[in-house]
A and B are shown apart, each in its own frame.
Chain A
C-alpha cells in the first residue's frame, strides 16, 4: 500500500472527503450487521440454554452417578450465564463506536463543505464519555455494597 503525506493546514479535497465518508459508512454498516449476527446468535444460545436447563431441572430426582451428572450439568449451564452476557456488552461497545463513527463522518462532511458557506450541516455529537465497557474478558464483575 502506498502512503502519501497529507498536509494538515489544507482543507480535505471534496473527493477525498467523500471517499473517507463512504469508507466510514461502510464500517458503520458492517457494525450493524455484526450487531444483528450477535443478537441472532445470542437468541439461539439463550433459547437452548433455557430449554436445556428447564428439562434437566424437570428430571425426576435420581441417586448415584446419574443424579450427580445432572447436578453437574445444571451447575455448568449456570456458569455459562457469565459468558452469555457477551451480547449486552458487545452491543454497548458497538453503539458507542457507531456514535463516534457518525461524528467523524459528519465532521468530515462539515469541514469539507466549509467553503460552501453552508453552516446548517448538522454534526452528530461525539460520545461525551469513554466507552463504558472496559472489560477485556468475560470474567464475573465486582460487587460493592454501600
Chain B
C-alpha cells in the first residue's frame, strides 16, 4: 500500500483529502503545517507528499525545498494543492522541486488519477 503525507492547516481539508485517499486504498499520514510535515518526513519515507501552499510556520514551497535537500525525498513526488493559481506561484513551486501544482477545489477522481500517475 502506498503511503502519502497529506499536509494542510485546514482541518476540514485534511479530513476531505484523507477520506478521498483512504477510500482509494492509500495509507495516509496527516500533518498540520510544513514544520509538522518535515518532522514526520524525517521519521520515515513516504511514497508521495501532497501539501497545501499557504500555511503558518512553513509553507508548501518552502517545505518542498527542504524535503528536496533530504536523501529520502530527492525523487519522491511532491504535489502542491492550493487555492493559488498564479503562474508566478506555479513557477516558484516548480523551481522548488514540486512535481505538480493542483488548484483547489480538487475533484476526488481527478486527484486519485494524478496521484496514481506520479506515484511509483
Contacts and interface: CB of A to CB of B under 8 A. Distances in A.
A73 interface: no
Interface residues of B, number: 33
Nearest to B105: A85
B26 to A, nearest CB: 15
Interface residues of A, number: 33
A46 B53 CA distance: 22
Contacts of B82: 132
A132 B52 CA distance: 12
A141 B85 contact: yes
B22 to A, nearest CB: 10
A138 interface: yes
A146 B85 contact: no
B45 interface: no
Contacts of A132: 53-54, 82-84
Contact of B13 (A83, A85, A146): A85
The interface residues of chain A, by DSSP majority, are classed as helix
A68 interface: no
A84 interface: yes
A143 B85 CA distance: 10
A125 to B, nearest CB: 16
> Which of B12, B84, B102 has the most chain A CB atoms inside 10 A of its CB?
B12
A22 to B, nearest CB: 29
A110 to B, nearest CB: 27
B99 A134 contact: no
Interface string A95-129: 00000000000000000000000000000000000
A91 B114 contact: no
A16 to B, nearest CB: 36
A43 interface: yes
25 contacts: A46-B15, A81-B105, A81-B108, A82-B105, A82-B106, A85-B13, A87-B12, A88-B13, A88-B83, A88-B104, A89-B83, A92-B83, A132-B54, A132-B82, A132-B84, A135-B83, A140-B105, A141-B83, A141-B102, A142-B85, A143-B100, A143-B101, A143-B110, A144-B90, A144-B101
Interface of B: 8, 10, 12-13, 15-16, 19-20, 23, 53-54, 82-85, 90, 94, 98-110, 114, 117-118
